[in-house]
Structure 1
Amino acid sequence: MSFAELDHLCRRLEALDHAQAMLGVDEAVSMPEGGGEKRAEAMSVLASMAHEMASAPHIADWIAAAEAEDLDAGQRAAVAEFKRGYINRTCLSSQFVARQVNARMRCEQLWRSLRARNDWNDFLPSFENIVALAREEAACRAEVLKLPPYDAMVEQYDPGSRTAEIVRVFADLKSFLKGFIPEALEAQARRRAKRPLKGFAGPFAIDRQKQLGLALMKAVGFDFDHGRLDVSHHPFCGGVPSDVRMTTRYRTDEFLSSLMGILHETGHGLYEQNLPHDLGHWPSTKARGMAMHESQSLFQEMQLSRRPEFWQFALPLARDILGLAGVEVEDMLGHVHHVERGFIRVDADEATYPLHVILRFEIEQDLITGKLAPKDVPDVWDAKMQEYLGLSTAGNYSDGPMQDVHWPSGAFGYFPSYTLGAMMAAQQWAALERAVPDAAVQIERGDFAAINAWRKEHIWSKASMFSTPEIMRRATGEPLNARHFEEHLKRRYLAA
């Protein structure tokens, strides 16, 4: 009956996860600033309770006994993934978890106010505390998992990924992009000489932008009976599969950054909403790491929503809702395919975006190993920005190392997932096109049923029942292959 005992435990843990997820969403979307201290305390207590419950010593006996029971394939996969999670949880004490959650929330709250003031000096002490806790976490995990410290952190976001392989893939990609980006900018200049980029006449009312975003979310398959869209300081997709909470941020002088952000987060939301319901309280039915999650958001945003066929379908809606008189598909493509070296990762185009990720990947490795001190991050950031993108962030902390929520919230090891996800998305699209040859025609009609059916069969329904490499192999017929991403960039950005 040990499987039954684990099953009961998973239901209780799911309830605590649900509560923590919703408190986190409320903290980012609705909570007044004065509520931050008590919210941090409440969430640290819940995190500690969940950790104690999920890492109790007797659970090891339950796992061993369940492994000896007569289980079906789904139950065996459930126990195997629970065991992997249990080993990772037992790396940390509940006291450490409570202390870390409290520190992370306080640092993130401080970051929100200090980033707006470009105030690195006041942010630094809190950031130093977060880095110290991350190093402590990495050391604890490394000892148990028998991995190098940074690998032990990456394991929490993308199980099975290892730094050595990421370094190899990113080195090749960095070399490719060094030559590709100048070529893409030259091709863009030639296109602009033939057809100058047409600007959009704002301002764009926020309620109209939201109306368009909601319409496109619905069109691509988002279920509003189990999710909603709000506003936050930093766009995210949170909540739980039965109640997915997405956010965006709006500007009235332009609309595309918010709209494409909404479509990006919708990719996350579709993945969550389409995970398996059977054994839905077990870890095996949760999303398979952040690289896979990012592959789904980037599939939606980059592979689908920046295609000419998508804008054949979406532009009439945008004209009607936003009043884009005289705007043609080619004008939209000029904006959504625009390549430009910039400071902000979340606003970067897909050609320059990987360099933003590689920069952070390199810095956070050195932060975790102790090679780099937190106080020296701005100088290293500036040097790498100048080398990779030809831009200086000297003295510009809000557009430099303070621009992302990840480090204030303690998410070290997350950043590689973004670019690994982009590569995976391109490879998934190539496989989907083979299975659905008229996919582009269907997109032009605004019909995403067959595309979503392929994604559900090959990605969403697999959840965490297999490793990321195995899911990719089963879905696409080959291991992760960066060639698909490079060929995608060439087709999209080097056309005359």
Structure 2
Amino acid sequence: MSNAAYQRLTHRAARLGALGEAASILHWDASTMMPRGGGAARGEQLATLAGLAHEMMTAPDVAEDLRAATAEGAWEGANLELMRRAHARATALPTSLVEATARANSTCEKIWRDAKAASDFAMVRPALEEVLRLQRETAQALASATGLSPYDALMESYQRGVTAAEVEPVFEAYEVFLRDALPRAEEIQARRGPPLPLAGTFPVGRQRKLCRRLSLRLGLEAEHSRLDQSVHPFCGGTPSDVRITTFYNEADPAKALLGVLHETGHALYERGLPKEFARQPVGEAAGMAAHESQSLIIEMQACRSDAFLAFLGPRLHQLFGGDAAPYAAENLGRLWRRVSRGFIRVDADELTYPAHVILRFRLERAMIGGELAIADLPGAWAEGLHALLGIAPPDDARGCLQDIHWHDGAFGYFPSYTLGAMAAAQLMKAARAATPGLDQALALGNLRPLVTWLRANVHGYGASLGFQDLLRAATGKPLDPMDFQEHLAARYLQDDAAMEASAAFSLRARGEGMLR
């Protein structure tokens, strides 16, 4: 009887997975192909799918099967445990709230596009207030069911097993590190002088061909992927039909190129998930911090390394022509790893990017907690960014309107970005130790050794392990933020006389603020 119950649950999970895949494709289409007039209908379609999925998950016979089911083997046991977790969260929410949330998110996201273009926060404020109201209602319901705080209950939607109380000291320690590291990195850059710019125009058609060629070279199969254009780069679709997007700037090919390398990292993770558990909870990714680690180990750790840039530079020069000097690996490194106190998160360098995430983490916690009203968001944003980076945005487009996340209902997502960056540095350190000749392969444009290691140590585990256990299995320890700081010091502070002091500080701080 118990095995029959488990089989019924896996059948239901497969149908739920198919509904989720359909919703993902509809989201992708809304960002790439859908005409503006289709927004209202698309919102209703997504709300209906969300409602159907919720009804399937909360049907009375699901609870009966969960009580009766047993599983044979570690994978099946993990799958059953994830089903129980998903059911507990789903039954905490009425279908009406799930559908209302989907409609509000879709409506707000469409308005946000116009508000961002006009740099006018007032345009989207009422819609965002409705999104926040529903997110707070959702958070309270989930908190009651799980015993977590409301904000932690939302975080759990994106990365299970990590709480704000664990993240906060890690972010506070990074803020202390940044106060010293940022001015030192800026001083080093000033002594070196500015990099040579990539001059000229870069036709979109050539950029598109280059981006597609590189994503295929990294291992993303043509028969299982698409590359399209959107306002905000993302990776969507399904593990067998991955959709990545980017946007193009004819004056700067780095925008599209680095975006595609990042999204290809996400796509490779999806392609590497265990196929035998497709459309099962255990066959999904381990969470969004884990996902971000995979995009960032490809883009930041591998493809912005000196070794890979030595491979990439001559090919860029061959494609775009002009003076060869700007395409030298050393110059590309200085150009694409340049530290700058900027307003835009997606354009930020490795050193300052966590500051953008820390800001959003603090603001969204305050909004969910009822301590920050939507009307006060622009001012709080400006104050927070000034405290972290010493700058304030000149307008809404470069302030609180720059990201899609809150306008699409994604509260609790932002910590995953910096947790992922820290995990990427830790994973790359382990991959180098386990894979002799890794950098030599990168210098030939060959990411196969790295991707092979990731397949075995990250991708293939699916969601059978949580974020921390996944890192323990791959690196022998939970998240260690010092690996990220040491990576940054080696890349940005290596010729500074104070580096020895930084290294000594890192050794003293090891273990302090470690996220377990």
TM-score relative to the length of structure 2: 0.94
| Structure 2 counterpart of 1:46 | 49
Pair 482,472 (structure 1): closer, same or farther in 2 beyond 3 Å: same
| Structure 1 counterpart of 2:168 | 167
Q: How many Å separate the matches in 2 of 1:72 and 1:175?
A: 45
- After TM superposition, the structure 1 = structure 2 runs for residues 163-312 of structure 1, keeping only pairs within 5 Å, are 163-192=164-193, 196-312=194-310
| Structure 2 counterpart of 1:92 | 93
Q: How many Å separate the matches in 1 of 2:123 and 2:450?
A: 48
Amino acid aligned to 2:229: V
Note the C-alpha offset of 1:216: 1.2
Percent identity, please. 41
Q: How many Å separate the matches in 1 of 2:473 and 2:38?
A: 47
Q: Say if 1:303 and 1:425, in contact at 8 Å, map to a contact too.
A: yes
Note the C-alpha offset of 1:26: 0.5
Note the C-alpha offset of 1:450: 1.6
Q: 1:237-291 deviations in whole A, cap 9, x for unaligned? A: 0001010000001111111122111111111000001100002121101011100
Q: Say if 1:3 and 1:62, in contact at 8 Å, map to a contact too.
A: yes
Note the C-alpha offset of 1:57: 2.5
Amino acid aligned to 1:133: L
Q: 1:75-130 deviations in whole A, cap 9, x for unaligned? A: 11211111111112222111111111001001000001111001111211111111
Note the C-alpha offset of 1:173: 0.6
Q: Say if 1:187 and 1:495, in contact at 8 Å, map to a contact too.
A: no
> Does structure 1 residue 385 correspond to structure 2 residue 385?
yes
Note the C-alpha offset of 1:324: 4.7
Q: How many Å separate the matches in 1 of 2:277 and 2:354?
A: 36
Q: How many Å separate the matches in 2 of 1:325 and 1:266?
A: 29
| Structure 1 counterpart of 2:110 | 109
Amino acid aligned to 1:98: E
Q: Say if 1:361 and 1:416, in contact at 8 Å, map to a contact too.
A: yes
- After TM superposition, the structure 1 = structure 2 runs for residues 118-157 of structure 1, keeping only pairs within 5 Å, are 118-157=119-158
Q: Say if 1:108 and 1:409, in contact at 8 Å, map to a contact too.
A: yes
| Structure 1 counterpart of 2:368 | 368
- Which of 314, 317, 325 lines up with 1:316 in the alignment? 314
Q: Say if 1:295 and 1:421, in contact at 8 Å, map to a contact too.
A: yes
Q: How many Å separate the matches in 2 of 1:338 and 1:279?
A: 42
Q: Say if 2:314 and 2:328, in contact at 8 Å, map to a contact too.
A: no
Note the C-alpha offset of 1:17: 1.2
Amino acid aligned to 1:368: I
Q: How many Å separate the matches in 2 of 1:74 and 1:324?
A: 55
| Structure 2 counterpart of 1:491 | 490
Amino acid aligned to 1:205: P
Amino acid aligned to 1:218: L
Residues paired across the two proteins, number: 490
TM-score relative to the length of structure 1: 0.97
SS at match of 2:275: coil
Q: How many Å separate the matches in 1 of 2:379 and 2:241?
A: 42
> Does structure 1 residue 27 correspond to structure 2 residue 30?
yes
Unaligned runs of 5+ in 1: none
Q: Say if 1:55 and 1:86, in contact at 8 Å, map to a contact too.
A: yes
Pair 99,454 (structure 1): closer, same or farther in 2 beyond 3 Å: same
Q: How many Å separate the matches in 2 of 1:454 and 1:349?
A: 26
> Does structure 1 residue 65 correspond to structure 2 residue 68?
yes
Amino acid aligned to 1:240: T
| Structure 1 counterpart of 2:12 | 9
Q: Say if 2:111 and 2:123, in contact at 8 Å, map to a contact too.
A: no
Unaligned runs of 5+ in 2: 496-516
Q: How many Å separate the matches in 2 of 1:421 and 1:81?
A: 22
